[in-house]
């Protein structure tokens, strides 16, 4: 806001200097004084007027003024963005005034499509955040800056790793299989990198367009909301700012795994349970004894034994973070510039991981003639993130699981230290079991990213009322990932030697937009017409190289030819978009507002004839508080109602799906991979835009001179012609085809409340609250006349589970689909033959005790979980059985009932304190880490420790196997937890947890040095602060963190927690200096 404010101040000042020449001096005395803001900085251009008289003046560049007035007069101080103040002169000669900023600034400028508007004139649903809000709580990334702060905008970070993927959803996801990310526009240029492409220090404002009347001007891709980022511009006078902070982070939570004593007992129990020995002979315990000793010695050997906590070894470090930012800002009347440099350097809490980035931005604005302005900006970002993280598809069981499950003690003939050795753990049944440190050290991954964006444009004032703007830009984004799999990595062992992959992807994009704006303000009419055209093209090229079997890992990426075998794949394509658009804004008497827009959008992703679609929208608003009948003394200072309706589109599907093409495959002819071709897809020439229709009703209320502001939005979004990769009859030779299918609905309410509770000269207290409710529903999955579809299941693909999510008409997206747990099998569930043979198999269950099809291979069901049966299926012997499909039911829902944020800010003299909390309520998390971490498919694996008593079949005193029904019942009278499972896990409601949380996200305490000290130091501003992030999370969730989404790439499988990198708590200390 600073820039626009300063510009406004100057314009207004200029205006008044001219005006003043005509002012006739009256008698009376001269009053002098200064007008300052809350930071004690003089405000130039403040309007002073004498109540009831046509006398006035404005403050000079330093905020000082002189005015002549009578003793009885009242001076009114007013300035855009600040609260009005009235002061009776009395006998004062010098009056210093501190103006208080309006908390809710109706005159604030909001960026809407291709244009700006005052907030008070808005017709649609827009949430904004300004630079001044961002400055209060410094953050490392722009995404963190908006987390929880904007109603209707849900931000989910996939995991705690530095540079982790972030999911932003505006009013829920509309599409079923397509990308639901909003469209990002940075300084007028559509960006793929989104908020990652800007330094938070460089952001002037972020405006989120949520309803169709706002988004449809972006037509295509506007269906999931539009996030417009405006970066800082230059302003008058030289100003140099340094922002820097340093700090550290620690893991915020670790999971409890079994202690060595519990661990060895579990190993024993496992072996006992695994035994098929007949009751007459004892189970063969020799393997366990040779590793860990006899049962009787366990308490002596392991109760207080030292052990290795692998979570500490991997995530235990205190990671350092630092950030430095320099901004140079300046210019004269005709030339303005802004330079920004930001460097971030963060370590991850996991060993061998970190993130570094450099951001450079330069912006230049020049008035060439009185009617022609030129502007240009360039920003360049380079970053590298290191570390393989915890999620790696090539590690079958996952790295985090290995960290949790790797054995904590060596046992009787292996020292704990030897567990750090690089050799394969030959005791393990899993032949590729390395210790977690070896795993982390043997997979090296560096992700390099560079992004260069250059924009330039002209503004031409063709006449007084007509402005023509042209903005052109290019963007080059390069992502390059180097992964090295050293000798002791899973991948290398499978491939037979040190291996590497290089993925290099470049996108080149250009964009050009032309707009012509006509403004007419006459009497009570205010008309604004805009016509525009935009075109952009993106060109992607990608190369992947797999190089297997290097002699060693000394030189890898320097010379990939050192590998024995190579596979190179590449891809290259272009896509383009061409649009024409127009918008009319009309306001009558400044209180009846009307807007209509139309965008005509064409995309290269559809066949000719289907390429173009129109996206119309219209909105009306009524500012009731400006009506003459409105009682001016009522506490209501602002009241506006709005309604909008419109449509916007989505075309985020792969290219060329409308045509039949051939792609390459291989046939092993003559011991060579000989190139062949096959039909790529079943082209669908009928493909067209997915379209979202939005209804939005909004109310803006300001109370007590706008010190209390309230915004409510209600919306219904209907998305039709969903672009969905649909299953088709495979008789065609294809199993799926992209089609326009069915529809979804999102309904919701968003409330925002801002209050300036206390506002005195030395002490202020502000608070803000936003809360969003969204209900998602799949309305239909039908396509064509005779094809009705009611539901389908999808697989999240984290483990062996198939069909663990359900897509069902009438229900929301993100339903978790599995079995309901119904207690555990006890000794009473088995026939006598089970005790006689020692075989607790499904076949030996009592006739009326069902088992689940998934357990049919189980050799020891005793103590295992029971699956609740909803069907009356029976197996081939007529025994009741929980069937694979029919007994699956909906066991979880990833959609929160509501989410939001609360922030409060206190200032006392130079001190400021900001506290920010955010929450999510009512969503479920599918804790797959818990599911896998609680099974013991292989021996020598630790498991997560849970509270409760586990079912056992081992005699506590002797370690002997118990095969007596009564003794088993006695031993397990209080058992609530199932025995450790040795089989692949089954998804039951046990793994579904409440993901509600309230996070004490940030506390920041700052101090601004007083003006007198600053003057001596020749500084304009100096602020020191300390901030803590992620300080505490109130939640019942048992995993690392309830804010998690391990399967970001699939829209239909949200809320899964598998192998997610643990989140950290962070403390930083910073300084903010302006010269």
Partner 1 sequence: MNNFQKTFAILACILLFMVSCSDFLDIEPESQYMDENFFLTTEHAEMALYGVYNSLTSTELYGRNITQYYDIDSDIAQIYGGESTGKPDGERRSIARYAFNASTKQLDVAWNACYEGINRANVLIDRVPKMNLYENGTEAEKKILKRIYGEGLTLRAIFYFDLIRLWGDVPFKTTPSKHGENFDLPRTSRDSIYDYIINDLTNAIELVPWADEVANEERITRGAVKGILARICLYAAGYSLRWDLETGNINTLKMATRDDAERIKALYVIARDQCADIIAKGIHRLNPSYENLWKNVSRDMIDNEYKENIFELGFFSKLLVPDESGYYGAYIGIRSNLNSKWGKCSGGICVMPHFYYLFENGDTRRDVSISNYEFTTASDLTLNKGIPCKLFNLYPAKWRKTWSDLPTADVTNFNYPMLRYSDVLLMFAESDSRIANGSTPDAIQALKMVRKRAMPTKISQIDSETYPSDFEGFLDVIIKERAFELAFEGFRKTDLIRWNKLASAIEYTRTETNAIQNCFSTSGNKAYQGSIIHLQGFIIPRNVFYKHDDSKEFVQIDLSGSRPDADWSSSPWLNASFMSNMSVYATGFRENQSELFPIPTKIIDNSPAITQLPGY
Which region, judged by CB under 8 A, interacts with partner 1, from 441-449, 637-645, 850-858, 957-965?
Answer: 850-858
Nearest to residue 771, comparing CAs of 901, 628, 630, 661?
Answer: 901
> Own/partner pairs for 295-303, CB < 8 Å, 24+ apart?
295/265, 295/268, 295/954, 295/958, 295/959, 296/958, 296/959, 298/261, 298/264, 298/265, 298/268, 299/261, 301/264, 301/412, 302/259, 302/260, 302/261, 302/263, 302/264, 302/409, 303/261
**From 6, 514, 780, 1050, residue interacting with partner 1 (rule: CB under 8 A):** 514
Q: How many CB atoms lie within 10 A of CB 496?
A: 11
**From 17, 630, 662, 908, residue interacting with partner 1 (rule: CB under 8 A):** 662
Which region, judged by CB under 8 A, interacts with partner 1, from 57-65, 314-322, 600-608, 864-872?
Answer: 600-608
Nearest to residue 238, comparing CAs of 1020, 1023, 1071, 1070?
Answer: 1020
3-state secondary structure of 39: coil
Alpha carbons 802 and 987: distance in angstroms, whole number: 10
Which region, judged by CB under 8 A, interacts with partner 1, from 378-386, 661-669, 761-769, 899-907?
Answer: 661-669
Nearest to residue 982, comparing CAs of 830, 828, 861?
Answer: 861
Is residue 277 a contact residue for partner 1 (CB under 8 A)? no
Nearer Cβ to partner 1 (658/715): 658
CB of 442 to partner 1, least distance (A): 17
CB of 484 to partner 1, least distance (A): 17
Residues 83 and 100: beta-carbon distance below 8 Å? yes
E strands, 789-837, where?
791-794, 805-808, 815-818, 821-824
Nearer Cβ to partner 1 (168/722): 722
Angle, alpha carbons 464-466-469 (nearest 5°):
125
> Which tokens belong to 766?
């502000």
Nearer Cβ to partner 1 (17/662): 662
Alpha carbons 957 and 204: distance in angstroms, whole number: 70
**From 672, 877, 974, 1049, residue interacting with partner 1 (rule: CB under 8 A):** 672
Is residue 543 a contact residue for partner 1 (CB under 8 A)? no
**From 785, 848, 876, 966, residue interacting with partner 1 (rule: CB under 8 A):** 876
3-state secondary structure of 274: helix
Which region, judged by CB under 8 A, interacts with partner 1, from 329-337, 851-859, 1024-1032, 1044-1052?
Answer: 851-859
**From 511, 604, 939, 1030, residue interacting with partner 1 (rule: CB under 8 A):** 604
CA distances from 840 to 114, 275, 878, 880, 956 (A): 71, 11, 18, 16, 21
Is residue 546 a contact residue for partner 1 (CB under 8 A)? yes
CB of 602 to partner 1, least distance (A): 5
End-to-end Cα separation, the chain, in angstroms: 19
**From 603, 988, 1004, 1046, residue interacting with partner 1 (rule: CB under 8 A):** 603
**From 332, 590, 608, 1010, residue interacting with partner 1 (rule: CB under 8 A):** 608
Is residue 205 a contact residue for partner 1 (CB under 8 A)? no
**From 494, 551, 846, 967, residue interacting with partner 1 (rule: CB under 8 A):** 494
Is residue 512 a contact residue for partner 1 (CB under 8 A)? yes
Build a one-symbol-per-residue string for 680-699: x at contacts with partner 1 by CB under 8 A, - elsewhere.
Answer: x-xxxxx-------------
Which region, judged by CB under 8 A, interacts with partner 1, from 25-33, 75-83, 208-216, 511-519?
Answer: 511-519
Is residue 570 a contact residue for partner 1 (CB under 8 A)? yes
Which residues in the 611-640 window bind partner 1 by CB under 8 A? Answer: 611
**From 30, 284, 297, 571, residue interacting with partner 1 (rule: CB under 8 A):** 571
3-state secondary structure of 564: strand
CB of 854 to partner 1, least distance (A): 8
**From 630, 667, 704, 763, residue interacting with partner 1 (rule: CB under 8 A):** 667
The upper half-sphere exposure of residue 406, i.e. CA atoms within 13 Å in the direction of its Cβ, equals: 27
Which residues in the 853-872 window bind partner 1 by CB under 8 A? Answer: 853, 856-857, 859
CA distances from 809 to 88, 618, 650, 818 (A): 67, 30, 21, 18
Nearer Cβ to partner 1 (672/947): 672
Nearer Cβ to partner 1 (275/1050): 275
Beta carbons within 8 Å of 103's beta carbon, 6+ residues apart: 706, 707, 709, 754, 755, 756, 766
Which residues in the 404-463 window bind partner 1 by CB under 8 A? Answer: 424, 426, 431-432, 460, 462-463
Nearest to residue 314, comparing CAs of 352, 346, 347?
Answer: 352
Is residue 516 a contact residue for partner 1 (CB under 8 A)? yes
Is residue 396 a contact residue for partner 1 (CB under 8 A)? no
**From 37, 236, 313, 575, residue interacting with partner 1 (rule: CB under 8 A):** 575
Is residue 656 a contact residue for partner 1 (CB under 8 A)? yes
CB of 659 to partner 1, least distance (A): 7
**From 1, 12, 305, 535, residue interacting with partner 1 (rule: CB under 8 A):** 535
Q: What value does the CA radius of gyration of the chain take, rounded to a whole number of Å?
A: 33
Question: What is the DSSP annotation of 42-99?
Answer: B-TT-EEEETTSS-EEE--TTSEEEEEE-TT-EEEEE-TTB--EEEE-TT-SB--EEP
Which residues in the 247-266 window bind partner 1 by CB under 8 A? Answer: none
Which residues in the 703-742 window bind partner 1 by CB under 8 A? Answer: 727-735, 737
Residues 187 and 204: beta-carbon distance below 8 Å? no
CB of 565 to partner 1, least distance (A): 5
Nearer Cβ to partner 1 (27/731): 731
CB of 532 to partner 1, least distance (A): 10
> Which tokens belong to 927?
């804790």
**From 26, 62, 116, 276, residue interacting with partner 1 (rule: CB under 8 A):** 276
Is residue 671 a contact residue for partner 1 (CB under 8 A)? yes
Q: How many CB atoms lie within 10 A of CB 934?
A: 21
Beta carbons within 8 Å of 54's beta carbon, 6+ residues apart: none
Which region, judged by CB under 8 A, interacts with partner 1, from 51-59, 569-577, 902-910, 1030-1038?
Answer: 569-577
- Residue 505, strand partner residues: 479, 542
CB of 1024 to partner 1, least distance (A): 51
Angle, alpha carbons 122-128-134 (nearest 5°):
155
Alpha carbons 744 and 1052: distance in angstroms, whole number: 13
**From 394, 480, 481, 537, residue interacting with partner 1 (rule: CB under 8 A):** 537
Is residue 659 a contact residue for partner 1 (CB under 8 A)? yes
**From 11, 61, 665, 1017, residue interacting with partner 1 (rule: CB under 8 A):** 665
Length of the chain counted residue by residue: 1075
Nearer Cβ to partner 1 (494/846): 494
**From 675, 757, 1013, 1017, residue interacting with partner 1 (rule: CB under 8 A):** 675
Alpha carbons 640 and 632: distance in angstroms, whole number: 15
> Which tokens belong to 740?
């326009």
Nearer Cβ to partner 1 (573/1069): 573
Nearer Cβ to partner 1 (564/970): 564
Which region, judged by CB under 8 A, interacts with partner 1, from 436-444, 501-509, 603-611, 1031-1039?
Answer: 603-611
Which region, judged by CB under 8 A, interacts with partner 1, from 58-66, 474-482, 651-659, 938-946?
Answer: 651-659
């Amino acid at each position: 806001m600073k820039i626009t404010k300063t510009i406004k101040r100057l314009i207004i000042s200029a205006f008044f200097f001219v005006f003043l020449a005509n002012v006739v001096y009256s008698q009376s005395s001269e009053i002098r004084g200064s007008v300052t803001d809350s930071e004690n900085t003089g405000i130039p251009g403040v309007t002073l007027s004498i109540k009831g008289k046509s006398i006035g003046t404005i403050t000079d560049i330093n905020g000082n003024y002189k005015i002549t007035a009578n003793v009885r007069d009242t001076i009114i101080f007013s300035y855009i963005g600040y609260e009005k103040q009235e002061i009776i002169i009395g006998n004062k000669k010098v009056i210093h005034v501190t103006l208080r900023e309006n908390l809710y600034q109706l005159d604030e400028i909001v960026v809407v499509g291709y244009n700006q508007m005052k907030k008070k004139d808005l017709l649609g649903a827009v949430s904004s955040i300004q630079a001044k809000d961002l400055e209060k709580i410094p953050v490392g990334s722009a995404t963190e800056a908006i987390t929880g702060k904007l109603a209707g905008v849900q931000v989910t970070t996939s995991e705690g790793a530095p540079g982790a993927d972030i999911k932003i959803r505006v009013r829920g996801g509309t599409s079923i299989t397509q990308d639901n990310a909003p469209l990002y526009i940075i300084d007028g240029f559509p960006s793929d990198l989104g908020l990652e492409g800007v330094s938070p220090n460089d952001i002037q404002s972020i405006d989120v367009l949520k309803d169709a009347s706002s988004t449809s001007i972006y037509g295509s891709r506007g269906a999931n909301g539009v996030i417009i980022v405006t970066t800082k511009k230059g302003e008058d006078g030289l100003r140099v700012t340094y922002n820097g902070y340093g700090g550290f982070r620690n893991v915020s939570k670790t999971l409890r795994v079994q202690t060595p004593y519990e661990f060895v007992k579990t190993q024993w129990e496992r072996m006992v349970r695994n035994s098929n020995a007949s009751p007459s002979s004892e189970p063969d315990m020799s393997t366990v004894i040779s590793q860990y000793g006899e049962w009787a010695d366990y308490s002596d050997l392991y109760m207080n034994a030292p052990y290795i906590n692998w979570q500490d070894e991997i995530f235990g470090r205190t990671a350092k973070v630092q950030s430095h930012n320099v901004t140079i800002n300046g210019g004269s009347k005709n030339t303005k510039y802004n330079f920004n440099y930001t460097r971030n350097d963060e370590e991850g809490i996991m060993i061998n991981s970190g993130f570094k980035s450099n951001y450079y931005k330069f912006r230049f604005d020049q008035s060439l003639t009185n009617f022609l302005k030129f502007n240009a900006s360039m920003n360049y970002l380079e970053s590298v993130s290191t570390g393989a993280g915890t999620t790696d598809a090539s590690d079958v069981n996952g790295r985090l699981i290995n960290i949790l499950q790797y054995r904590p003690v060596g046992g009787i003939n292996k020292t704990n230290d030897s567990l750090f050795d690089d050799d394969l753990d030959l005791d393990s049944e899993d032949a590729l079991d390395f210790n977690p440190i070896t795993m982390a050290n043997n997979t090296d991954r560096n992700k390099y990213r560079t992004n260069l964006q250059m924009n330039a444009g002209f503004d031409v004032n063709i006449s007084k009322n007509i402005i023509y703007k042209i903005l052109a830009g290019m963007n080059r984004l390069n992502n390059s990932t180097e992964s090295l799999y050293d000798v002791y990595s899973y991948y290398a062992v499978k491939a037979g030697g040190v291996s590497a992959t290089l993925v290099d992807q470049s996108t080149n994009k250009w964009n050009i937009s032309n707009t012509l704006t006509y403004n007419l303000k006459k009497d009570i009419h205010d008309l604004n017409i805009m016509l525009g055209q935009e075109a952009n093209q993106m060109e992607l090229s990608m190369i992947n190289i797999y190089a297997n079997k290097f002699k060693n890992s000394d030189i890898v990426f320097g010379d990939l030819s050192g590998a024995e075998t190579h596979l190179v794949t590449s891809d290259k394509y272009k896509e383009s978009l061409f649009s024409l658009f127009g918008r009319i804004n009309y306001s009558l008497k400044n209180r009846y507002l009307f807007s209509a827009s139309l965008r005509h959008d064409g995309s290269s992703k559809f066949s000719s004839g289907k390429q173009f679609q129109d996206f119309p929208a219209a909105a009306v608003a009524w500012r009731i508080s400006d009506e003459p009948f409105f009682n001016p003394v009522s506490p209501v200072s602002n009241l506006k109602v709005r309604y909008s309706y419109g449509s916007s589109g989505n075309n985020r599907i792969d290219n060329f799906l409308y045509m039949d093409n051939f792609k390459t495959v291989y046939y092993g002819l003559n011991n060579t991979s000989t190139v062949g071709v096959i039909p790529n897809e079943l082209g669908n020439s009928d493909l067209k835009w997915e379209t979202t229709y939005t209804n939005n009703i909004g109310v803006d209320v300001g109370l007590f001179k706008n010190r209390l502001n309230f915004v409510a939005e209600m919306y219904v979004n209907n998305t039709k012609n969903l672009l969905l990769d649909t299953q088709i009859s495979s008789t065609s030779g294809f199993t799926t085809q992209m089609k326009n299918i069915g529809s979804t609905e999102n309904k919701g309410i968003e409330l925002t409340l801002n209050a300036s509770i206390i506002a005195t000269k030395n002490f202020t207290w502000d608070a803000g609250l936003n809360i969003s409710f969204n209900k998602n529903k799949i309305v239909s999955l039908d396509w064509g006349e005779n094809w009705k579809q009611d539901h389908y299941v999808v697989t999240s693909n984290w483990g062996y589970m198939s069909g663990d999510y359900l897509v069902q008409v009438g229900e929301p997206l993100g339903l978790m689909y599995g079995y309901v747990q119904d207690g555990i099998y006890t000794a009473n569930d088995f026939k006598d033959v089970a005790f006689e043979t020692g075989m607790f198999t499904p076949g030996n269950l009592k006739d009326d005790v069902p088992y689940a099809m998934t357990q049919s291979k189980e050799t020891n069901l005793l103590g295992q979980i029971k699956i609740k049966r909803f069907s009356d299926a029976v197996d081939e012997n007529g025994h009741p059985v929980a069937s694979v499909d029919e007994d699956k039911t909906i066991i979880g829902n990833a959609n929160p009932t509501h989410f939001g944020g609360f922030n409060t800010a206190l200032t006392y003299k130079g001190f400021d304190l900001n506290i920010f909390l955010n929450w999510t309520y009512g969503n479920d998390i599918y804790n797959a880490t818990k599911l896998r971490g609680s099974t013991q498919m292989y021996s020598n694996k630790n498991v997560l420790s849970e509270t409760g008593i586990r079912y056992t079949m081992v005699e506590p005193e002797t370690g002997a196997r118990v095969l007596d029904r009564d003794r088993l019942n006695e031993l397990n009278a209080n058992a609530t937890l199932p025995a450790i499972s040795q089989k692949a896990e089954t998804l039951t409601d046990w793994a579904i947890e409440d993901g509600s949380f309230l996070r004490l996200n940030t506390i920041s305490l700052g101090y601004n040095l007083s003006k007198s000290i600053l003057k001596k130091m020749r500084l304009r501003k100096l602020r020191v602060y300390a901030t803590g992030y992620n300080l505490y999370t109130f939640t019942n969730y048992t995993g690392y963190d309830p804010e998690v989404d391990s399967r970001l790439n699939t829209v239909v499988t949200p809320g899964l927690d598998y192998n997610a990198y643990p989140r950290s708590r962070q403390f930083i200390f910073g300084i903010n200096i302006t010269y």
